[in-house]
Chain A
Amino acid sequence: MFYFIPLFLMVVLGVAQIYFSTQLATKGKKITTLEKETQILEEENKNLKSEIASFGGLNKLLSLAAEKGFTKDFQIINLSSKVPVALNP
């Protein structure tokens, strides 16, 4: 009766090995796909970052501001920090 136990275990472990090997093989494929996706996203991220930076350059902003009609104003009025009214009643 007991000699069935090792036989049973061999069958179960054999089936398990086949199952997990198949699973791992498909996981490898998934990992490759994910790695490729990560690489594409990283590259896109890098491109977007440099694109954003190129739009934020001061020379670019200056020419955009000039196009919109903005100019430099040197007539700056400084307000005195002294309170112009009496504090005590």
Chain B
Amino acid sequence: MKKKFTNWRPLVLVVVFFTLFLLILLRLFYWQVLASEKLLQLAKNQYHSQEEIMPNRGEILATDGFPLVTNKKAYLLYSALGQLDKPSDEVAETLAPLLIEPENVEASLSAEEKEKLTKNLIKDKEEDLKTKLSLDLSWIILEHKLSEEIKEKIKQLEITGLGFENESTRFYPEASMAAHLLGFVGKNETGLDTGYFGLEGFYDMELRGRQGVLIQEKDAANRPILVGFFSTEEKKDGQNLVLHLDRTVQFIVEQELEKAVKRYGAKSGSVIIMDPNTGGIIAMASWPKFEPQKYFKSDKTLFKNPLISDTYEPGSTFKIFVMAAALDSEAVEKETKCDVCDHALKIDKYEIKNWNDKYHPQSTMDEIIQHSDNIGMVFVSRKLGLDNFLKYIKDFGFGQETNIDLQGEAASPLRPDNQWSEVDLATAAFGQGITVTGIQMVQACSVIANGGWLIEPQVVKKVISGKEEIEMKVKKIRQVIKPKTARIVKEMMVQAVDKGEASYLKKKIPGFKIAGKTGTAQIPVAGHYDEEKTIASFIGFAPADKPRLVMLTSLREPEASPWGSETAAPLFFNIAKQLFPYYGIQPE
């Protein structure tokens, strides 16, 4: 019996050891084979550090290299929810007043209204923070784009579980200058910075750049292990844009535009200045405007650029293009006399009159422009014919987009060629029943200024990508009229300024040769034209013999006077008066 017992013990021991060995083997098989991928990943996560390197968004520079839009340091406030040392409601109540910046409250409000609004904003922010802090997450973003000052105030609260990360925000050294042209940067639906409207919208991809990634092994003290794994994808900063825009000219234009809108009681106003030889936009302004830095405070209707997005009936400013078409196609000559200019005309059921109900029998072509004679223009359009009219109008760029490098351009197409009646042609000859945008008008006027070439307008002059500079080429589209025709129309426009209804303004800047044309367009309302509401405009270029700039000024519904000669023309001359010495243009 004793012998039997001693033989059994080593056997059990062998079985136990064998079982344990088998279990260890199985466990090792699980770790080494079955779970190896997962464990390898966990290990890598421990010693591999992955860092996302955010690119700097490209700057937008004026033609002198001064930044109109640059980047400024800002902070992201986050909370590690499990680590908060205070109740989340208390944290929300403490933080909310700090996150509402006083300048974000409308400045035009009274002190009492401001206080009430601030209280409401703080309450809303408090609720927002409470909701975020109550979420079942380990890490959450509480606020973006905090200033250094607010960051310091929050730091002083010494709340454990709150932290900051660097980020950058757009900064506008010239405040709201050229807001419609620049656009703004907001967040898209995924929370990424995205450009909207104007240049920010059009060049969003170029300005945005490319995010970089750095993956490397780090030790327990978070120091890189140089012999370890290393992988990097370089970040690529956004490209910088250098504009044709001259900030001094833009500044003058914006100052004068604001004054004019207030002086004439207009609802809104716009000015655009273009170099007729390159198509470069030197200035572009609209009033009212918004602040790109605080775009969220502004009425959304202000974001679109009226000069490229809004269409209007151009009125008499359109006459120069119809006249140019008629002269170029040799339908009329400069000396041709109008034999129907002595009375109002009746076409179908419509009666066509002159703006002041005065008629000038046997007017020559330059007198028609000088008097802004509607009857004379009907005469010209009849001589020109519908086919030629449509051909030239399309060649001048009307009815299609100019392809300016700004987001939000719109152009209403011309009605189909077979739907034009006699009265449509007659009214279009003096700028009624046809719609245009401000940028189309300036582009078409440049054709007369530069000797006949249609040039694509462009805002960006140069793109800087790292050390590489890419100059944007002048885009000549087609020759619309002969240089000789351009010269004749230019002289007509000079006469219109010297002897037309805006001739009194020449005294403001004697000695300078300016080519221009006034326009007063009625506003169509529910199938008829409003008797009182007008869009007053003036288009022209200077110096007439060697044009440096083409300018369009327009005021919507001016109360002081409905006429372009009494509102938009003075605005044109006030700007020109300041630009001549700036450009060193001397009187003749």
- Residues on B with beta carbons closer than 8 Å to the beta carbon of A27: 226
B203-257, CB < 8 A from A: 219, 221-227, 247-248, 251
Does residue B66 face the partner (Cβ distance < 8 Å to A)?
yes
- Residues on B with beta carbons closer than 8 Å to the beta carbon of A54: 171, 173
Cross-chain contact A49 with B225 (CB below 8 angstroms): no
- Residues on B with beta carbons closer than 8 Å to the beta carbon of A59: 174-175
Number of contact residues on A: which range applies? 20 to 34
- Residues on A with beta carbons closer than 8 Å to the beta carbon of B577: 74
Does residue A57 face the partner (Cβ distance < 8 Å to B)?
yes
Cross-chain contact A28 with B224 (CB below 8 angstroms): yes
- Smallest CB gap from B247: residue in A: A58
B146-200, CB < 8 A from A: 166, 168, 171, 173-175, 177
Does residue B71 face the partner (Cβ distance < 8 Å to A)?
yes
Choose among B72, B222, B248 the residue that contacts A58 (Cβ–Cβ < 8 A).
Answer: B248
Q: CA–CA, A47 to B75, complex, Å? A: 13
Does residue B586 face the partner (Cβ distance < 8 Å to A)?
yes
Q: CA–CA, A32 to B222, complex, Å? A: 9
- Smallest CB gap from B587: residue in A: A78
Does residue A81 face the partner (Cβ distance < 8 Å to B)?
yes
A interface, over-half SS: helix
With an 8 Å Cβ cutoff, the count of chain B residues facing the other chain is 30
In the assembled complex, the CB of B242 is this many whole angstroms from the nearest CB of chain A, namely 15
Cross-chain contact B73 with A46 (CB below 8 angstroms): yes
Q: CA–CA, A29 to B174, complex, Å? A: 43
Known contacts A28-B219, A43-B166, A76-B581; is-contact A53 B224 (Cβ 8 Å): no
Choose among A31, A43, A53 the residue that contacts B173 (Cβ–Cβ < 8 A).
Answer: A53
Per-residue contact bits, chain A 40-83, to B (CB 8 Å; 1 contact, 0 not): 00010011011001101111000000000000001010100100
Cross-chain contact B225 with A28 (CB below 8 angstroms): yes
Cross-chain contact A56 with B587 (CB below 8 angstroms): no
- Residues on A with beta carbons closer than 8 Å to the beta carbon of B223: 25, 28-29, 31-32
Cross-chain contact A31 with B224 (CB below 8 angstroms): yes
- Residues on A with beta carbons closer than 8 Å to the beta carbon of B227: 21, 24
Q: CA–CA, A23 to B248, complex, Å? A: 57
B32-90, CB < 8 A from A: 56, 66-67, 70-73
- Residues on B with beta carbons closer than 8 Å to the beta carbon of A29: 221, 223
Cross-chain contact B72 with A47 (CB below 8 angstroms): yes
Most chain B CB inside 10 Å of its own CB: which residue of A31, A59, A74? A59
- Residues on B with beta carbons closer than 8 Å to the beta carbon of A31: 223-224, 226
Choose among B73, B175, B219 the residue that contacts A47 (Cβ–Cβ < 8 A).
Answer: B73
- Residues on A with beta carbons closer than 8 Å to the beta carbon of B251: 58
Cross-chain contact B70 with A53 (CB below 8 angstroms): yes
Cross-chain contact B222 with A50 (CB below 8 angstroms): no
Choose among B56, B73, B174, B226 the residue that contacts A57 (Cβ–Cβ < 8 A).
Answer: B174
In the assembled complex, the CB of B583 is this many whole angstroms from the nearest CB of chain A, namely 12
Q: List 9 A-B contacts (CB under 8 A).
A: A24-B227, A25-B225, A28-B223, A46-B71, A50-B73, A53-B67, A53-B171, A58-B251, A78-B511
Which residues of A are interface residues toward B (Cβ below 8 A)? 21, 24-25, 27-29, 31-32, 43, 46-47, 49-50, 53-54, 56-59, 74, 76, 78, 81
A-B CB proximity, top 4 nearest: A53-B173, A28-B223, A24-B226, A50-B72
Which residues of B are interface residues toward A (Cβ below 8 A)? 56, 66-67, 70-73, 166, 168, 171, 173-175, 177, 219, 221-227, 247-248, 251, 511, 577, 581, 586-587
Q: A46-B73, A58-B251 are in contact. List 11 more A-B contacts (CB 8 A).
A: A21-B227, A28-B219, A29-B223, A32-B222, A46-B168, A47-B72, A50-B70, A56-B173, A58-B248, A78-B511, A78-B586
